[in-house]
Amino acid sequence: CSAAVAARNRARRREAPARPVIFVGTGTCGLGAGAGKTLAAVRAWLAAGAAEADVIEVGCIGLCVEEPLVDVQLPGRPRLSFARVTEKKVVPLLNAVFSQAPLPAEPLGQFRQEGAEAWPGVRPLDEHPFFAPQTRWVLANCGIVDPSSLDEYLARGGYGALAKALRTMTPPDVCREIELSGLRGRGGGGFPTGKKWTIANKQAADQKYMICNADEGDPGAFMDRAVMEGDPHRLLEGLALAAYAIGASKAYIYTRAEYPLAIARVTAAIARATAYGLLGPNILDSGFSLDVIVKQGAGAFVCGEETALIHSIEGRRGMPKPRPPYPAVSGLFGKPTVINNVETLANVPGIVMQGAAWFASVGTPSSKGTKVFALSGNVARTGLVEVAMGTTLRQIVFDIGGGIPGDRAYKAVQIGGPSGGCIPTSQLDIDIDYESLKTVGAMMGSGGLVVMDDGNCMVDVAKFFMDFIQKESCGKCIPCREGTRRMLEILESLSRSRRLEQQFEALERFRAVMNLEHLAKVIQDTSLCGLGQSAPNPVLSTLRWFRDEYEAHVYDRRCDAKACRELLVYEIDTTLCKGCGICVKQCPSEAIVGAPKSPHHIIPERCVACGSCVDACNLDAVLVH
């Protein structure tokens, strides 16, 4: 009987398929790169009778820059992974793989598979520079398993932790195990998860609630979305364990309506788990019941703050409220409530199954386990990265990310989203953990990590994030509502040309700049919620590490990165200009003058710094400084 079960699980894991399997990455990033057309081409190739094979849609494996990704597994051979398989590349690729002829493109790698005949000359996928330095716990199944298959998740040990907890552990036991593991909230603040659960567990109430915060409002963050799309049952198992630990019988997954694929896959997973008796009433005959509801939000950034999120679920406007009482004591509908984000909950099944010591064996003394980052920006290999706490920023950007493309120089990384900070070259070897990031004016946040090269202006970067925060402020408290607006106005004045100023505006601009840091600290000290308190972080961190750029903007009205358009000065190199007149026709302000076939000139007072002349000139005669 056990041999039959093992064989069945092996088949469900597709470790020895009887017929070929074609895997297509159809997460949001894959679909955005054209995976929908790739999938249609694969099915058309099979429908034409070229071969017989199963087609499986999987989530994102993390290497987003190489999408669309297609894997092919033949009986007796390991799974091969191919990058950038567009619609037109499908037929020659599949013809070559199925006939085992020379491949038209070099594979990304092959999966390790015991007992299978390895493809000669193809490296294991886990030795790819992007994957080799990673420690993939939360993302272990993403891009590998069929997210619609509960059987496959079960075959890989899924819901084993829930069964263990329900049969052998009391709710306080689960709280204690999570507390001993050192797991901290992955949503931003880093509060000890087990401690939060213990507080809620000790509350006497006829109803308690468990909430998964899957709203993910930071620009450039897509970690939670990838887990929901690629491994939804891991999230549901972690959610069920958390609900059991605190004594909740109702759980909400709060996510933004802009995640339709994630919502569809999580909703389908809830239905399947309920049908199997893994959610719903009397789970596994334990007497524990859990009803899970997916709640769609409107995408407000402030709803990432837990009290605002609670208001949104209750049907009210998403606005923070003062604490205490904290949600663990009085939260949703006035009942004890715990809120954790997707990544936090996705860590829970492994901790319960493997034990606290297993989880705590990785990381730093104050930050245990792994952290998932959304690596984006000016870096060669963008995507989802999961590394052990304590990994240096340099390793993430240069080893995993492949460094800065286009022969540009690294300048900074924005970490922690709009509430985070910028980390310069001098701090590249800092360890990634909650405490060390605070020492350089940054924070872990939910895990957005945006790389910037020397073409970025840090004043402009601060202005971008302040504009985002100011627009997303709920407006409830004056320091955040008015203070962030004033900070944005000051930053906008730094990139304003003298020719656009009147009367005493230049003096007022200078006076405002002198008070910028003081204003930022007042907002930090007096805002109502954590989002307002951390709103000035991008300005303070760029002031700390890139003060010379601020001074160039303030004193010289100069942007060395040439990103602040109004500060740019355009002139024509008369030794290169042939007087063709193309730039004259393109100039919207009639700022270029000159006789035909003679060198032209730009009248500074008329120039609006639109850059049309640069685009039009075929001789590179227009200089910008």
Q: Supply 170's token pair.
A: 């009391």
* pLDDT tens for each residue of 14-71: 888 889 999 999 999 999 999 999 999 999 999 999 899 999 999 999 999 999 999 9
Residues in CB range of 515: below 8 A, 6 or more apart: none
DSSP state for residue 125 in the 8-state scheme: G
> What is the C-alpha separation between 13 and 26, in angstroms, rounded?
19
With 90 as the cut, is the pLDDT of residue 449 above it? yes
589: left (phi over 0), alpha (psi -120 to 50) or beta: alpha
Q: Positive or negative CA dihedral for 357, 358, 363, 369?
A: negative
Closest CA to 107 of 52, 152, 153, 70: 70
> What is the C-alpha separation between 242 and 328, in angstroms, rounded?
13
Contact 521, 561 (CB under 8 A): no
> What is the C-alpha separation between 387 and 381, in angstroms, rounded?
15
> What is the C-alpha separation between 287 and 210, in angstroms, rounded?
18
Contact 147, 1 (CB under 8 A): no
Total-model pTM: 0.93
* pLDDT tens for each residue of 530-545: 888 999 999 999 999 9
Strand order in the sheet with 291-297: 291-297, 250-256, 209-214, 337-341
Residues in CB range of 204: below 8 A, 6 or more apart: none
pLDDT at 166: 98
> What is the C-alpha separation between 432 and 245, in angstroms, rounded?
29
A 10 A CB-CB count for 261 gives: 16
Confidence of residue 6 (pLDDT cuts 50, 70, 90): confident
Could you give the 3-state DSSP secondary structure of residue 80?
strand
With 80 as the cut, is the pLDDT of residue 501 above it? no
Could you give the 3-state DSSP secondary structure of residue 263?
helix
What percentage of the chain has pLDDT greater than the value 90?
78
Contact 117, 101 (CB under 8 A): no
Closest CA to 241 of 345, 354, 360, 358: 345
* pLDDT tens for each residue of 466-497: 999 999 888 899 999 999 999 999 999 998 88
Q: Give the rounded distance of the alpha carbon of 117 from its chain centre.
A: 37
Buried b (16+ CB within 10 A) or exposed e, 482-517: ebbbebbebbbbbbbbeeeeeeeeeeebeebbeebe
pLDDT at 587: 93
Contact 13, 149 (CB under 8 A): no
With 90 as the cut, is the pLDDT of residue 523 above it? yes
Q: What is the mean pLDDT of residues 210-218?
A: 92
Give the number of C-alpha atoms closer than 13 A to the C-alpha of residue 147, restricted to the C-beta side: 34
With 80 as the cut, is the pLDDT of residue 500 above it? no
Average pLDDT, the chain: 93
DSSP for 435-474, written as a single string: HHHHHTT---TT-EEEEEETT--HHHHHHHHHHHHHHH--
Contact 262, 228 (CB under 8 A): yes
> What is the C-alpha separation between 219 and 306, in angstroms, rounded?
18
Q: Supply 182's token pair.
A: 């050192």
With 90 as the cut, is the pLDDT of residue 280 above it? yes
